[in-house]
């Protein structure tokens, strides 16, 4: 494979648009496909070639990357008759960077094997801001040699790169992190609403939590949005609920106890039921604030 392999990029949502943009900036030739075709326009302006189907995007690509919603999207994009694994040339590489279940990913691994395509799982930690600045943390599993070949591709999009093993390990690692992200957001919300109810200043409480023993990259990064009650979705409540569901389903098969994850999953349902499904999941603070009885 050359220094700058030809990349086909599928999925130009909140994350994918920025990630594909970094590959273009780094000099990779990139062909893009998005189900909603208009979303390809900003990338075409930056030098990408637009394709009108997955097959057209994959044609001649050395590396095909998808960044799409969920298990259903992965199955539709990868394993249908007009999907990636029908179109990819034997010997090419398929990388999926979405957050999906180990189970769906294992199905894709089996189909990739039959198609003679090397398959990497590479979900990411970080949100739209890190995607935009090229500072994602990229969690990878799959064949080690393929990972080594693709390191320059990952380095164009992320600031930290971890390799976990040759199968679905990265999928579970990603879900473990998102369990903590969601539980942290719900605890952060509950604590600041508690402080406000006791007469403390909202902004000061958020600042002090950030500087305390429990301050973390998450509380500091999201503190400004919480101060402003700006819940423009970087990651929506529906999306975090999806990840909790994936983690809970995985735990059913592995036997891991999930008391906190099960509890906090119900918070996301309450929010979805009361119209906050498309807001950032940190709007849990607003949800609790609205429920204060005094």
Ligand X SMILES: NC(=O)c1ccc[n+]([C@@H]2O[C@H](COP(=O)([O-])OP(=O)(O)OC[C@H]3O[C@@H](n4cnc5c(N)ncnc54)[C@H](OP(=O)(O)O)[C@@H]3O)[C@@H](O)[C@H]2O)c1
Q: Under the criterion CB under 6 A, does residue 81 sit at the interface with ligand X?
A: no
Torsion angle, CA of 169/137/80/5, rounded to 10 degrees?
-110
User: Judged by CB under 6 A, does residue 77 bind ligand X?
Assistant: yes
Q: Does 68 bind ligand X (CB under 6 A)?
A: yes
Q: Closer to ligand X at the Cβ: 174 or 205?
A: 174
| Backbone phi and psi for residue 10, each to the nearest 5 degrees, phi listed first | -120, 120
Q: Judged by CB under 6 A, does residue 35 bind ligand X?
A: yes
Per the residue annotation, which of 174, 238, 242, 276 is the catalytic one? Answer: 174
Instruction: With contacts defined by CB under 6 A, name the span among 23-31, 72-80, 179-187, 189-197 that binds ligand X.
Output: 72-80
> Is 174 among the residues known to form the active site?
yes
Which alpha helices (DSSP H) does the chain contain, by range? 16-25, 41-45, 54-58, 71-78, 84-87, 102-115, 128-133, 144-155, 169-197, 202-211, 217-228, 237-254, 259-273, 284-290
CB atoms within 10 A of CB 270: 14
User: Which tokens belong to 140?
Assistant: 């990878």
Based on the shown chain and the rule CB under 6 A, indicate whether residue 172 belongs to the binding site for ligand X: no
Among 124, 139, 150, 157, binds ligand X (CB under 6 A): 124
Least distance to ligand X from the beta carbon of 294, Å? Answer: 35
| 73 in contact with ligand X (CB under 6 A) | yes
Q: How far apart are CA 101 and CA 95, in angstroms?
A: 15
Question: With contacts defined by CB under 6 A, how many residues of the chain interact with ligand X?
Answer: 25
Provide the minimum distance between the beta carbon of 127 and ligand X in the complex, in angstroms, as a whole number: 3
Backbone phi, psi, residue 235, to 5°: -145, 120
Q: Which two tokens stand for residue 123?
A: 């979900």
Residue closest to ligand X (Cβ): 13
Kindly state the smallest distance separating residue 243's Cβ from ligand X, in Å. Answer: 6
CB 28 within 8 Å of CB 7: yes
The window from 1-9, 61-69, 109-117, 224-232 that contacts ligand X (CB under 6 A) reads: 61-69
- At closest approach, how far in Å is the CB of 239 from ligand X? 5
Query: Residue written as tokens 């500087």?
Result: 211
Question: Which two tokens mark 29?
Answer: 């030739």
Residues 239-258: x/- map of binding to ligand X (CB under 6 A)? x-------------------
Question: Which residue number, 127 or 219, has a Cβ lying nearer to ligand X?
Answer: 127
Q: Kindly tell me which of 69 and 216 has the beta carbon lying closer to ligand X.
A: 69
Of the ranges 109-117, 122-130, 262-270, 273-281, which one interacts with ligand X (CB under 6 A)? 122-130
29-67 as b/e, with b when 16 or more CB fall inside 10 Å? bbbbbbeeeeebeebeeeebbebeebbebbeebbbbbbb
Name the residues annotated as catalytic.
174
Judged by the rule CB under 6 A, the positions of this chain that interact with ligand X are 11-16, 34-36, 39, 67-70, 73, 76-77, 98-99, 124, 127-128, 234-235, 239
């Amino acid at each position: 494979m050359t220094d700058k392999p030809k990349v086909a990029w599928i999925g130009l949502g909140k994350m994918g648009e920025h990630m594909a943009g970094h590959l273009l900036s780094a000099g990779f030739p990139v062909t893009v496909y998005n189900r909603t075709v208009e979303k390809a326009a900003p990338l075409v302006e930056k030098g990408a070639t637009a394709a009108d189907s997955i097959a057209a995007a994959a044609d001649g690509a050395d590396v095909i990357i998808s960044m799409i919603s969920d298990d259903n999207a992965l199955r539709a994009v990868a394993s249908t008759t007009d999907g990636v694994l029908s179109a990819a040339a034997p010997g090419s590489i398929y990388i999926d960077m979405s957050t999906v279940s180990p189970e769906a990913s294992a199905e894709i691994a089996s189909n990739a094997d039959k198609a003679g395509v090397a398959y990497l799982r590479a979900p990411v930690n970080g949100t739209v801001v890190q995607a935009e600045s090229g500072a994602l943390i990229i969690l990878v599993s799959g064949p080690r040699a393929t990972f080594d070949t693709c390191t320059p591709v990952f380095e164009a999009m992320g600031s930290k790169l971890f390799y976990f093993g040759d199968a679905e390990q990265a999928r579970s690692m990603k879900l473990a992190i998102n369990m903590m992200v969601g539980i942290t957001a719900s605890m952060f919300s509950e604590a600041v609403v508690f402080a406000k109810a006791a007469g403390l200043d909202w902004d000061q409480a958020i600042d002090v939590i950030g500087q305390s023993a429990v301050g973390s990259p998450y509380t500091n990064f999201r503190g400004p949005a919480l101060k402003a009650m700006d819940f423009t979705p970087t990651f929506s409540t529906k999306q975090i609920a999806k990840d909790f569901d994936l983690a809970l389903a995985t735990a059913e098969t592995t036997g891991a106890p999930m008391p906190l994850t099960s509890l906090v999953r119900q918070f996301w349902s309450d929010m979805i039921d009361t119209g906050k499904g498309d807001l950032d999941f940190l709007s849990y603070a607003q949800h609790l604030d609205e429920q204060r009885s005094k």
